[in-house]
Every structure is written in C-alpha cells, then in structure tokens.
Structure 1
Amino acid sequence: LPAAAYDSSEHPRNCHPGTRMQYIDQIVNWGLKGSDPGHRIFWLKGPAGVGKSAISQSCAEAFAAEKRLAAAFFFSRPNQRDNPQRLFTSISYQWASKRKSYAEILKSTIHDDPTIVDKELHHQFHHLFVFPLQELASKGEDISERVVIIDGLDECAGVAAQQTIVQIVAASIQDNTTPFIWLICSRLEPHLIATFKSLQISAMTHQEELMVSRAIDNEITKYLTDELAKIGMEHDLPVPWPRERDMGTLVNLSGGLFIYANTVVRFIGDHNSLGPEDQLQAVVALATNDTKGSSEHPLSELDFFYLLIMQRVPAKILQTVQWILLATKTLNVQTDVKRNRQFLGLSPSQFRTACRTLHSVMKIERGWIVFYHASFMDFMQDPQRSRQFCIWKDAALALRTELTQRLQAVCNDPDIEPYCELHACY
C-alpha cells in the first residue's frame, strides 16, 4: 500500500521546525543508540489532534536519513488506509526495497504462495519476516537492528486486529525472530491500553503520552507566526500581520492542539475566500461567541471551528458537500474522485467547486480525496457535535435513499465501472 509509506504525498507534513523536539529527540535517540532489550517497543500515545502523526513523520525522516528505517506504515481511517491485511505486506515491501538479499527471498516466497497476502496476520508475519530472516541468518548475513513505525494503530479496522498486531510484534521480540524495534503511535483506546498493560508487553515497552497542554503555546505561536507570515507576504498584507492581539487569540483558541492551528492556517490561506483578513476575523470572532463547546471535551474548540467551516459552505451547494462526504463513508470503496463523481451524478466542475469549500479539512491528491485528519469525519458523523450538518441526521435519510437509487442505476449501467458492495453500516 504505497500511500501508507512515510514518503507518500498523502501524509500530513512533519513537525514545524523547532517544535516537538522533546519527543522527536527522545524517539530518535531511542532508535539510533540501540534499544534496551526490555524496551524494543516505543508506544507514543495521546488524544486526537496533539501531533502524533507529525512526530511519526519527523522520526521516519530522521531514521531514513541515518539508514535505520526498515519501514513506516501510516493508518488512516477516512482515507481507507485501514486494512490490517496490508500492514505486514507493506512493511515487507518497503524493507525489501532497501535490502536486495531479503527481496530475492521474499519474491520467491510470494511466487510459491501468492495467497500469503490474504492469509491471517500471524501466518503473514512468519512467512514474510521470520522464515526469510532465518534463511538470511543461515547464509551468515549480518542483520542489524532497524526501526519500524506504525502510526495511527487505532485507525486500523477492527479492535481484534489492532490487538493482534501488538501481540505479534511482542511475540517476535520475545522470541527474537526479527531485528526490528517498533515505534507504535495511537490514541488512548481502552482495548489498546489493556493490551499494553499485559505483563509480557508492558515489560518490553517504553510508553510516552502526549497531553493536550497549554505548555506548548510557545510552539504553536512559532508555527502560526511562520505560516501566517507566508500567507501575509503572498497577499501583500502589512507587516506585521496578523496583529499581536489577533495572534494571541489564535493561540488561545488552539488550546494546546496542533490540529486546530494546522486547520486555522489552511482556513486563513484558502484561495476560494474573500481573502486572509476576512478569514482571520471569522476565526477571531469565535473567541467571543457564546455558543462555544464545553471545555470538558478535548476537541470542543476544534468542533466549533469545524462548525464555522460548514457554516461558510454556500447553502446552494451544502447538500452536494454532504452527498460527497456521505458517499465516501457509505461506499466500501476508495475515495476515488472519478468514481464518486460518476456515482453522485456530478460534473467535474460541480465536484471541484464543492470540494473547494472544504479546503481546510481535505484535498484532492492525484485523483483521490484525502482528509487531513480523522477528526473531521468523526465530527461529521456525530449529531451532538456537527448538529444540523451531521451526515447521519434525519435530514440525510432522503439523501441516503437517493444514493441507494443512484447505486442501483450505476450497477445497471454498463458504461460505468461497477461499485463495490455497500459498506456494512449502510
């Protein structure tokens, strides 16, 4: 799955220069200096939006530069990179591209049994890694320690699969069957907490938690200052811009969440708007709005910003936007622009126009819809959070009925590539 690799263009950017260095340095030192046998897993955990994926990306680049990266896999639920069957196959492919002798054995293994890629995870791991490594060792090849990064494990489809992946990794460490050390990043899901708490796994794992904290306000200030200065120069705005008061408001609204600051930058820099100053003031106005979310929810401020984004979608195309989001969630297919557009009966111009209104949260990349963060689609599916914009509210029932009729029409049309079956939740 090439899109899941660290050097894919679909990934969010790495950490802004000079930010999150505490965690990046800690992880890179752990990976480069050689790990304690008792800590060959590094679990970076934390809530949504604190910057785990950006840290993973920065670490992957650092390890790659030192030729210590075996592979990196970035799960993404909204972008359909969530199939557990593609994890170990992708890791093996990436490592094979770096080690010719392993690649030759892997090629022979898959040639002898092409069904390996569809086997259960334990079987995959042994045939893709354990047995080939044993063969390399028997030939006297020195296999030095390498880092494997698994980001967004909580976005892998299926609780059982997530737990199984951790258990397989831990077993390989305990049995010393692979030379890998593992950086695993995820949200603090109860089943993952329970898995990492087991005696066998906890003994070999270093755990580090990223908190939602105002202690990083200085880093968010640096990020916003640098990125908004670029936007100001592009639009020939007076220097300094934004004003110090407005910058302070943006930092305060971010509330220790880098995802908020990232989304704000994309929102203010939206070329399909009345300009950066207008966009900036729309965000600043949130600070005085009485309908802000409760601070008890760690993403309450981000939710309110997502509401602002949806409120600024023109009424005449709002339903089209909801159709697009609903289709990407309802259909068990990749977010392929052409196929989604055909299915919805939209012209290329209509589809592009609708997607541009969501510039802050998604983009079109080489013919695919790419969401910047899973939190937006989580928001759009929760009626308590997205309110009237929720794609699963009663108002969407008629929309889903129409989609079903369109699906039937598509399946009966020989000129349009057939769609996969409806997602189980439909």
Structure 2
Amino acid sequence: MAEVVNINTFPTGEPALKHLAPYTEPGAAMDSSARNPPPKCHPGTREKIGRKLGTWLDDHRQEPNMMWLHGPAGTGKSAIAQTFAEHCYERGRLGAAFFFSRPNERNKPETVIPTLAYQLAFHCRSFNAALSDQLASDPQWMTKAPHVQLKRLIIEPLSILQAQEDECIRKPFMIILDGLDECEGERAQFDFVGMINEASQLNLPLLWLICSRPEAHLQYTFSRVAYCGREKLLLDDECRRDVDRYLHDELARIKDEYADITPALWPSEDQFDELSSSASGLFVFASTGVKYIGDPTHADPVNQLKKLLSFLKHADAIGANNPLATLDLLYTQILNDVPEEKFPTTQRILGYLINGVQVPIFYQPTQVVCNFLHIDKSAFYSALRKLHSVIAVPAPEDASKTLLRFHHASFQDFLKDPNRSGRFVADVRKASVDAAKLGLFWHSIDTTRFHTNDGWHFDGEHRHASLPDLKWVSPDNEERVSRDVAVTATQCFWVFGDLSNARDEDLFSLAHGLDFRYVDQYYFPQLADWLYREDPTDSIVRTKPSNELDMRLLEYLRTVIGQGRADPATFPWKDADTWASRRRTYFFIGHGEKTTIVCVTECRDRWAKHTLNLDKEPTPQQIQEYQNCLVKFKWSETPDYEERAETVAKTAEGENGVVSVQ
C-alpha cells in the first residue's frame, strides 16, 4: 500500500481519486497487473451460471440486489467472477471489484471500502464529483470504521445522484467481492456481509455479488441474511462436461504448439479419459494439469502427460517434481487456517474419513463417526470449521443421516502423500490403529454389558440399551446412533487383517484385556492372526493347551465334534488351500477364565466359526446345531480330508508338540 497522506490538508472540491488512492489495494482490481493473467472461464464453459448472472444484471428487479455465489475450493469461482466482471465492464455496468488473495496479502479489511469507492469514482464522473464533496466535508472519513466508510463514501454519494436523477446511474452498477473467505478475520467477513445486506435494501443503483467458499461461519452468516440470492457451484455432470471441454481444447492447443513432436492421435483416448476421470469436474485440477503438460521449460507435452498420469498412479515416480504444486499450495493454505490446538482432532477425523473411502464399512453418518471417535459436537465442528471448502460438512440437524465426505478425491490424495502434504499428512496406518483401538474399546463395552448370553448367535442387530458415554446424541436418535457405533466397532476387526508392523502398546494392551468369551466369534481369526504376527512368542494365541483350563476346553470341543477330527490351526492364519476341500482347525485365545477355544470348519466355499467357553459346558442344542452345520456343508470324513488332516497334524505335532482332537 502506498504511503498515507495527511488527510487534514484535503482541499474542497479536489478530485477524490488522488486522495483515496493511498488507502486502496490496487492489486485487487479486475484489471490489475498483479493478477495478470487472471483466471477466466474457458469459452463454452460455465454458461449456465453466466446466463443467470447476465439475466440478473439486466433484470435485477426480479431478484434481490445481493447474491452469494459459493462452492468448494477449485470449482472456478474466481474465474466466473473475473469473466462476469469483464462482461459488466464491457456493458459499462462495472462499479467495482475486489479480488481477495490471502497469499498475496490482498486481504486487509480496511482497504475494501476505499478501493470500491475509488473504482466507482473512476468509472463514474458524477460519482467522483459527489464523493469529492463528501470527502471535503470531513477529511477524516478514511480513518473511520468500514460501516461508516460504506455509508459516507458509497451510500451517501449515490443517494445524492439518485436525488439529482443523474444519467450515470440510470442502470445499477455491479460490485463484485471475490474470495470473501480470504478476507483477514472472520469478524470482518461477518461485518461485510451484514453491511452489504443493509445497503442492498436501500434501493440504491447497486448490485452486489459475493463469491466465497462455503466456510462454516459464512454459511451461518448468510443464513441470517434476508433478501439475498444464492447460487451454489456443484461438481455435477455439467461441470464435468465443462472441464472435459477445457481439457480437450487446451490439449489441442498444446498439440498445435508442439506439432513437430506430438503424434497425430495425441493424447490417446485412454489418456484423456484417465485425465478427465482424475479431474472429475475440478477446474483447479484441470488447469494445474494443463500447465504442467504444456510447460515450455520442458517443451515435451507427450512425456509430461505420461509423467502426470504416472504421478496420479504412483506419486513417488516423480519425486520432487510435483505437477500438482499449485493444487497442493491451495490445499496447504486451507489447512494452515486450522488452529494448531484443533489440528490433532482434525487429523483424526481426516484419517478416519480416508479409511472410510478405502473401507466402505466405515461409511457411517457423521454423528455416528463423532461418537465412535469419542468427539463431541462442539469439538467436531471446531476441528472442521476451516475445511468446508474441501469437505462436505453437514449441518447439525443433518448429521445423523448425512455422510462426511471429501468434495474431491484430489484432497484425499494430497493428504495421503507426505511428499505433498508435509506436516498435514494423514497417516493411514496411524488412522487404522486408531480405528482398531476404538473398535476394541467399544466392542468390549458392548459385549460385556449386553452380549454375555448371546452364545453362538451374536446379536448383530444390537437390540439392547444404548451404549454409555456417547458424546453426541438426542432422545430421538440415541438408540440408532448407539447401534451404529456398536456395528462399526464390530466391523473394525477387519482392520487387523491390514495392520502390519503396527506395534502399538495401547492397542496390544486393549487386545489383551478383552474378555474373549463374548467377542463376536465371526472375527476371531483376524484378531488372532494380528496378535500372532505382532508377537509370535506371546501365549495369548496358542494352538496347544497350556494348562488344565485349556484341556477342559479341548474336551468341550471333542464333545461337540463327536467322532470327527480337528487339527491345530497354523499361524500366520491362512484360508483353506484350494486343493483342500475340507478342514477343521482350532486355536485358543485369551488367558485364564476369559479364554475361549475357536473351531473353524471349512468346506469348499463354506465355513463356520464356533467358540466354547469355560463358564458353560456344551449343551445338547449346541451339539445338534453343529451337526446340522455339517449336514448343510455336506461334510464327511473322506480320505482326502483325512490325508490333508494327517499332514497338518504331523506338521503341528512336529512344530508344537500338539496332538489333534480325535
């Protein structure tokens, strides 16, 4: 900003421009060299929103004088604002435009009103004269609060021109504020929306277009604003077609520019489809990719495209030469806004969300996720307050039925790659360990309180009272949320199959503390296999009896299977070999009275898991149920099974000194 002049020497009648200039931000203007080249809509794209804005400009009487255009990061809001600003200028209807930019420090709230007034004075001589008189009446207007400046520097000069029926305001001027979310301070953003809303209801010859990301505080602010139009940019089919058109035209331009080195059929259909799929309607991704492909310093678009597509598949293939640097800068900037003390919670949520994308069982409504993570409503919304531009965060009233999701997969990819996200990396392994811990925590509470009598028929519907200590429920959804948390906890046992070299003492301790008599028997192999892989010497998982209690469990198993044969299981756990049509194996898990013996019966493409505990001898009903299972499996002790069983038994006996149940 230029050096401030002594406003107390302002002479009556001197033009306003000279004396406003020191208080303005010239780089925020539509045609500023600081923004050259500015983002613009590619020809033939964003036509629908362009027509809506054009109609509003020409026939504003049918619409409010204020409109909020919002959408996720990278959807082209600034390009739309720039293109529309140029359209208004060509029509002689542009009053002013302020393009906020936090990285370029064009975000000081005290410069906004002076900049708008300066541009209005530049575009309209009559306004210039009226503003000059206004400044002459009190040379200290430039030091006033923004709402006072708006009244004195814009509203009052326009009111004077209205009273004079000046020709220059026969049609309203358009004022555009782009990127309001980048204005310094949420309070200032809130105040600007309120001021503009009040001004828009004064029947002045002004239309106000505000463009921003849908940050939480702005959603709240605009929800309290009356007489304001709203347009939401969606990553829909139309947006994807627009991005495809942009990609097609830009790649054709690059091909013409490098006609001597690009093949006639470049890019191939598969390459274009892959690039289009990755962009998925996100203009910022497409523009970043095009810049990389056509980079004149490389002058090799064919190879650049290959590298980009390779990067999208294997990010480490390019190393430090990141073709998505611009997009990464945008995402880094967004994450930098998260307060440091909030970020650990933010990171846990992001990690869970990434796991949810990879493991569909984690896909649960937002309120369920919060309770599962032991995060209350306030902490959740505080942690994601700055991330509404990259994550679809449902309103509290919708959280019980709406999923938490990324706006675009590119943000997920950014978070997973430490070379791109740096300190913001979402450690998927750590998130999986966290999910496993929480799964054991909730499953332990659930089973020891409500499932001690389930036996072989675990109540997967969780038709019981609500879990204790849920962080965010209401009377009308507590039962459902509790059930979904319990289901999620049970499903977390699948995570153990993917945990490798993830020794975490807290997780290991939680697993050791389980009462295995009541754990859902369906998931025992995954948990037992993980425990074995973490520490093969740990006796919590074993295939031979280690004490009298284990021997009693072995007798229980012999009672259930009758004259059949069962062999000690082998770890690491392996599914039945393709050549083995049948097998029945067992192992012990747990210590003392909490031990259970697990019997896994496999027959071709069918299998069943049954557990026996020390506190209950096998009942006649259980014995009959197991025999019914064998009939259903068409089980028989045929020679091929006997041969396979003998091999397993000999191997187990040689390694562990274990004898099979006969």
Considering the TM-score relative to the shorter chain, is it more than 0.5?
Answer: yes
Select which of 209, 215, 219 maps to 1:189: 215
Answering whether residue 165 of structure 2 is matched by residue 156 of structure 1, we say no
2:205 alignment partner, one of 171, 179, 182: 179
1:146 — aligned with what? 173
1:20 has 2:61 as partner: no
2:231 equivalent to 1:208: yes
**Structure 2 residue 72 is the aligned partner of structure 1 residue 41:** no
Distance in 2 between residues matched to 1:389 and 1:254, nearest whole Å: 18
Deviation larger for 156-165 or 143-152: 143-152
Unaligned runs of 5+ in 1: 290-303, 314-356, 363-371, 395-426
Which of 224, 248, 261 matches 2:247? 224
8 Å CA contact 2:197, 2:228 repeated in 1: no
2:252 counterpart of 1:241:
no
- 1:381/1:391 contact within 8 Å kept: no
Deviation at 1:63, TM superposition (A): 1.4
* 1:416 counterpart residue number: none
What is the Cα deviation at residue 379 of structure 1?
A: 5.9
Where does the alignment leave 5 or more consecutive residues of structure 2 unmatched? Answer: 1-24, 348-414, 426-662
CA offsets per residue over residues 129-171 of structure 1, 9 Å max, x none?
1222233344442433121111111111111111111111111
Q: Which of 169, 193, 196 is the aligned partner of 1:166?
A: 193
2:320 is aligned with what amino acid? Q
How far off is 1:390 after superposition?
5.5
2:198 is matched by which residue type in structure 1?
A
Q: 320, 326, 329: which is aligned to 1:311?
A: 320
In 2, Cα distance between the equivalents of 1:126 and 1:309? Answer: 55
- What is the letter of the counterpart of residue 136 of structure 1? L
Q: Is the 8 A contact 1:380 1:389 kept in 2?
A: no
Cα distance, 1:4–1:32 mapped onto 2, change above 3 Å: same
**1:147·1:180 contact (CA, 8 Å) conserved in 2?**
yes
- d(CA) in 1 for partners of 2:32, 2:80: 16
Which range moved further: 157-166 or 10-19?
A: 10-19
Structure 2 CA distance for aligned equivalents of residues 16 and 209 of structure 1: 19
Amino acid at match of 1:167: G
Seen in structure 2, the aligned counterparts of structure 1 residues 252 and 388 have a Cα distance that, compared at 3 Å, is: closer
Aligned to 1:295: none
Amino acid at match of 2:127: Y
Secondary structure (helix, strand or coil) at the match of 2:96 reads: strand
Q: Distance in 2 between matches of 1:389 and 1:111?
A: 54
> Could you say which residue in structure 1 is the equivalent of 2:310?
285
Indicate if the aligned counterparts of 1:89 and 1:117 stay in contact, CA closer than 8 A: yes
Provide the C-alpha distance between the structure 2 equivalents of 1:40 and 1:272, rounded to a whole number of angstroms: 47
- 1:57-136 to structure 2, matched below 5 A, reads 57-110=82-135, 113-136=138-161
- Please give the secondary structure, in 2, of the residue aligned with 1:150: strand
Q: 1:374 to 1:393 in 2, by over 3 A?
A: closer
Does 1:378 find its partner at 2:334?
Answer: yes
Task: Provide closer, same or farther for how the CA distance between residues 86 and 238 of structure 1 changes in structure 2, counting only shifts above 3 A.
Answer: same
CA 1:284 to 1:209, structure 2 compared with 1: closer, same or farther past 3 Å?
same
1:32 touches 1:68 (CA, 8 Å); kept in 2? no
Report the secondary structure of 1:35's partner residue. helix
Deviation at 1:119, TM superposition (A): 2.3
Per-residue Cα deviation, 1:299-357 (whole angstroms, up to 9, x for no partner):
xxxxx7xx9887216xxxxxxxxxxxxxxxxxxxxxxxxxxxxxxxxxxxxxxxxxxx9
Residue 311 of structure 1: SS of its match in structure 2?
coil
Instruction: Give the alignment partner of residue 293 of structure 2, picking from 230, 245, 268.
Output: 268
Partner of 1:352: none
Amino acid at match of 1:168: M
How many residues of Structure 1 are paired with residues of Structure 2 in the alignment? 320
Contact 1:380–1:390 under 8 Å retained in 2 = no
In the other structure, the counterpart of 2:350 is none
TM-aligned CA distance change 1:70 to 1:308, over 3 Å = farther
Given the superposition, is the C-alpha separation of residues 391 and 35 from structure 1 closer, same or farther in structure 2, using an over 3 Å criterion? farther
Query: What's the C-alpha RMSD, in Å, of the aligned pairs?
Result: 2.9
Greater CA radius of gyration, 1 or 2?
2
Query: For each residue in 1:216-273, what CA deviation from the matched residue of structure 2 results, as whole angstroms up to 9, or x when unmatched?
Result: 3222121111112222222221223211111111100002101000000111112233
How do 1:244-263 residues align onto structure 2 when only pairs under 5 Å count? 244-263=269-288
Task: Show the counterpart of 2:32.
Answer: 8
Cα gap change, 1:271/1:376 in structure 2, threshold over 3 Å: closer, same or farther? farther
- 1:380 shift after superposition: 7.6
| Alpha-carbon contact 1:6-1:60 (below 8 Å) kept | yes
- Summarize the Cα distance change of 1:256–1:115 in structure 2 as closer, same or farther, 3 Å threshold: same
Higher RCO (CA < 8 A, seq sep 6+): 1
Moved more, 227-236 or 50-59: 227-236
Does the residue aligned with 2:61 lie in a helix, a strand or coil? coil
Find the residue that maps to 2:200 and give its secondary structure: helix
Query: Which SS does the other structure have where 1:16 is aligned?
Result: coil
CA distance in 2, matches of 1:381, 1:90: 26
Aligned-partner Cα distance in 2 for 1:285–1:21 = 33
Deviation of the 1:122 alpha carbon: 0.6
Secondary structure of 2:103's partner?
Answer: coil
SS in 2 for 1:361: helix
Summarize the Cα distance change of 1:260–1:376 in structure 2 as closer, same or farther, 3 Å threshold: farther
1:356-375 matched pairs, under 5 angstroms: 361=326, 374-375=330-331
Do the aligned partners of 1:77 and 1:374 also contact (CA within 8 Å) in 2? no
- Residue 200 of structure 2 contacts residue 208 of structure 2 at CA under 8 Å; is this kept in 1? no
Distance across 2 between alignment mates of 1:310 and 1:86: 41
Equivalent residue of 1:28, what SS? helix
Report the 3-state secondary structure (helix = DSSP H, G, I; strand = E; otherwise coil) of the residue aligned with 2:105.
coil
C-alpha separation in 2, matches of 1:393 and 1:216: 29
Question: 8 Å contact 1:44–1:207 — kept in the other structure?
Answer: yes
> What percentage of residue pairs aligned between the two structures are identical?
35
Cα deviation code 1:187-234 (max 9, x no counterpart): 111111111111xx23x1111111223443222121111112222222
- Check whether the contact 1:217–1:256 (CA below 8 A) recurs between aligned residues: yes
